[in-house]
Chain A
């Protein structure tokens, strides 16, 4: 067991130690010293990233009696989660300032969520998965409700109810799978299903497991939470919510679909139909919406459904496209929410409130515009490459999926409409330019916004290295 810890679990343990440190400090330090909280969590994240180099990946390593595992796939996802965590912590400056008293607890909760995400990715049985899922979930509830006012509480409560329900559905599926195969270990289940005939119950269990997990991605049956939560939530927390749970959940769903749930052909179609319904719902919902956060919520749901559809069509090539898409998507999203954070959550977030602010804040709005057009999938940004790469995967999966692809492509046009609805008011002419707000972001917020926009453009111009990496990772699973 000690061996296991030193071989693969050091990053998680370092992060855990930092969480304890933050909790202890939160008891002793006075609220005036809130500034150091972010610093400590950044140190924690970087030491954890350093510790990632000690993780043994070749060959696959199973630790703690097969409860956790590590290979280059998990390593990549852990790294991505930590990097996203780093960026998100940089944009939490305003939030930490408003909750001075609880700054340390907030950072501790945030790191817990990161820890949960990392554990989700490296889980190798359903018990570890359940516990780490809930570890991430519990801290997410508090993170959502952290900002002042009633709305954040309502958002958090809705998220809790949906989450509890979806965990129930997930575990119900797991219980049947356990009944069929007599094990909760992914490797054992995979071995069992490759050697035995499977029944209808198996398919039902698979569908329920995927449904339960996918609720956190806002895929159809449990998709409605996303609108309310995004509306009531602080934008720096949204930067967290739209990237890290998504990365973690996709990390595990791809693995599940390849291994323990891999024997169910019907699952592919269920996933395809669910994704299509989600994409339809999200894109049509966003047309009439005027609130930027809600539109971004719908876009998050729609984008997740595209990747979900591709992940459902199991193949190594598709897996690499999903990973690439997720990376690009996380970068764009962080930059978008960094801009909203700079703009200020106190201001109302309706489309017309952004009218003409481009003329006073050219650099910031330019970076934001790049991220939005990347989300829409217009060239010279990573969004374009990601979208093409993802759609090639669906096109390669057979003629049956061509109608699905056609629908997704048509929905992309709808998506373009609402992205433009967000973007274009920025460039509108204003009569009196003196009244326009001039944003004064802190260095860290500006840094995140510009860096993410720059990464978006660089990937858009020269994606080859990242694509090669994704393919390498996908082949090693």
Chain B
């Protein structure tokens, strides 16, 4: 079983497929490429599901790759070490699932350069899985940087034939913005990693960069906080925390639908995962020191973005801002520094990943049919697309936090976890004040639903078709996930323990 269910297959098979798709020998037949990619994604999802089934938290998957009997870079103590523990496996399965949905929904959104598109999608998946599974700081950083290349091309590429050209230029600009912001963040992170590596070596005498070998114990307290701040700046760009968020709405808005699903569903979670892996686990002292500040930042994220969101008229922007708001909730759960808070934030990562993927899917479907994303111009979609309206209303209700669906559990658990926190009163206050999120989110999401789906339909859109089989599959599977985790949250919370 060890050989069959191993981490390298999970990570490197997508990378190999990506290279295969990029090579000139592979067929450039559109249908074949799409079917091939889709089937690989489905198999990958099944594979990761198998890994989840055979996973036991007491016995995490660990894999160490030695090249010719040597570590990767011995003189720095960098090892090719991969480790999947409870949180990693949840994120891996989520990644695999969302990518599968994205590939299914790519059929109508991607009209050009199929080989390159799927190749980049595989590369992105490989890099994200690498982030979730790497057991070494520098390896983590490698995948963190690697993810930028495919993300750039996916956001900024020209994948449609029928655009009027305006979105194309915007897409390039926002991809550049994304890459510069991310790179800036990752440079701060690199500084944190370098300092942590050095001080761990100087104080503990172990030349190693693996997570398990790092211990904060003897590092001077001031330097710990410094390192933590640098690391948080890196993750804060990805998360995003408010002053560093301005890349996100542009990137999400201008990317094609499947890419938006992936970005909001998975890519943002890497930031939260990084905070958990580095700050929460390795630097607990400085995390406790910084937790109140993080809680306040999270509160600002939640409240400020909710108001900004209400003012938006572009439906994709609404969803993008709402995901910033929700990431604030995840950050609050982490900052609480309690067991409930942690499991709540992991749970909310999954729940929000599903919800936001569904919402972006709906936006994509609407844009594909009506060529417009402004809620003031859209109206009466429900009369021609009743099935979409059904899905949209359920997913929107889920995202607001109606019981029965996963986000409700995530939100409530996060607030409970934050209230239990014994670190500081600030966190409790933050939890208390983040409760209005439920109201605010219902304001903007219901506005979105109301304005675009009800009312009178414009003349020229009478002949629009309802959702197709592909779109139905995607929305239905997201809905299934939401309901399953809403009714049985223990599937995730029990795994974290």
Q: A378-B149, A379-B142, A409-B187 are in contact. Are A464 and B72 (CB under 8 A)?
A: yes
Q: A462-B67, A464-B71, A464-B73 are in contact. Are A379 and B187 (CB under 8 A)?
A: no
Question: Which listed residue (B142, B187, B194, B195) contacts A412, Cβ 8 A?
Answer: B187
Is A389 an interface residue when CB atoms closer than 8 A count as contact?
yes
Could you tell me which residues of chain A, from 376 to 435, have a CB within 8 Å of some CB in chain B?
378-380, 384-385, 388-389, 391-392, 395-396, 399, 402, 405-406, 409-410, 412-413, 416-417, 420, 429
Chain B residue, CB-CB nearest to A317: B75
Is A101 an interface residue when CB atoms closer than 8 A count as contact?
no
Is A290 an interface residue when CB atoms closer than 8 A count as contact?
no
Is A65 an interface residue when CB atoms closer than 8 A count as contact?
no
Name the interface size band of chain A.
Answer: 20 to 34
Q: Which residues on B sit within 8 Å (CB–CB) of A406?
A: 191
Is A344 an interface residue when CB atoms closer than 8 A count as contact?
no
Q: Which residues on B sit within 8 Å (CB–CB) of A389?
A: 73, 76
Could you tell me which residues of chain B, from 194 to 226, have a CB within 8 Å of some CB in chain A?
194-195, 197-198, 223
The stretch that binds A, out of B3-11, B176-184, B465-473, is B176-184
Q: A378-B149, A420-B179, A464-B67 are in contact. Are A402 and B195 (CB under 8 A)?
A: yes
Q: A392-B198, A405-B191 are in contact. Are A463 and B146 (CB under 8 A)?
A: no
Chain A residue, CB-CB nearest to B149: A378
Is A75 an interface residue when CB atoms closer than 8 A count as contact?
no
Taking the nearest CB of chain B, how far is it from the CB of A324, in angstroms? 10
Taking the nearest CB of chain A, how far is it from the CB of B67, in angstroms? 6
Chain A contact residues: helix, strand, loop or mixed: helix
B73 touches A396 (CB 8 A): no
Chain A residue, CB-CB nearest to B112: A429
Is B13 an interface residue when CB atoms closer than 8 A count as contact?
no
Taking the nearest CB of chain A, how far is it from the CB of B143, in angstroms? 8
A385 touches B73 (CB 8 A): yes
B191 touches A467 (CB 8 A): no
The 8 A CB mask of B380-418 against A (1 = contact, 0 = none) is 000000000000000000000000000000000000000
Q: Which residues on A sit within 8 Å (CB–CB) of B72?
A: 462-464
B184 touches A410 (CB 8 A): yes
Q: A409-B188, A464-B73 are in contact. Are A392 and B194 (CB under 8 A)?
A: yes
A392 touches B197 (CB 8 A): yes
Q: Which residues on B sit within 8 Å (CB–CB) of A405?
A: 191, 194
A362 touches B24 (CB 8 A): yes
- Taken together as a complex, chains A and B put the C-alpha atoms of A340 and B141 apart, in Å, by 32
B145 touches A378 (CB 8 A): yes
Is A373 an interface residue when CB atoms closer than 8 A count as contact?
yes
A468 touches B191 (CB 8 A): no
A467 touches B194 (CB 8 A): no
Could you tell me which residues of chain B, from 163 to 181, have a CB within 8 Å of some CB in chain A?
176, 179-180
A416 touches B195 (CB 8 A): no
- Taken together as a complex, chains A and B put the C-alpha atoms of A380 and B146 apart, in Å, by 8
Taking the nearest CB of chain A, how far is it from the CB of B230, in angstroms? 8
Is B148 an interface residue when CB atoms closer than 8 A count as contact?
yes
Interface centre among A379, A399, A462, A467 (most CB of B within 10 A): A379
A464 touches B74 (CB 8 A): yes
Q: Which residues on A sit within 8 Å (CB–CB) of B179?
A: 416, 420
Could you tell me which residues of chain A, from 444 to 477, have a CB within 8 Å of some CB in chain B?
462-464, 467-468, 471
Further contacts, 10 of them, CB under 8 A, given A320-B75, A379-B143: A378-B146, A378-B149, A384-B145, A395-B191, A395-B198, A409-B190, A413-B183, A462-B67, A464-B71, A471-B75
A-B contact pairs, 7 of them (CB 8 A): A388-B190, A391-B194, A392-B198, A395-B198, A409-B190, A413-B184, A463-B73
Q: Which A residues fall within an 8 A CB radius of B?
A: 320, 362, 373, 378-380, 384-385, 388-389, 391-392, 395-396, 399, 402, 405-406, 409-410, 412-413, 416-417, 420, 429, 462-464, 467-468, 471
Q: Which 3 A-B pairs have the closest CB atoms?
A: A395-B194, A409-B187, A379-B146
Q: Which B residues fall within an 8 A CB radius of A?
A: 24, 67, 70-76, 138, 141-143, 145-146, 148-149, 158, 176, 179-180, 183-184, 187-188, 190-191, 194-195, 197-198, 223
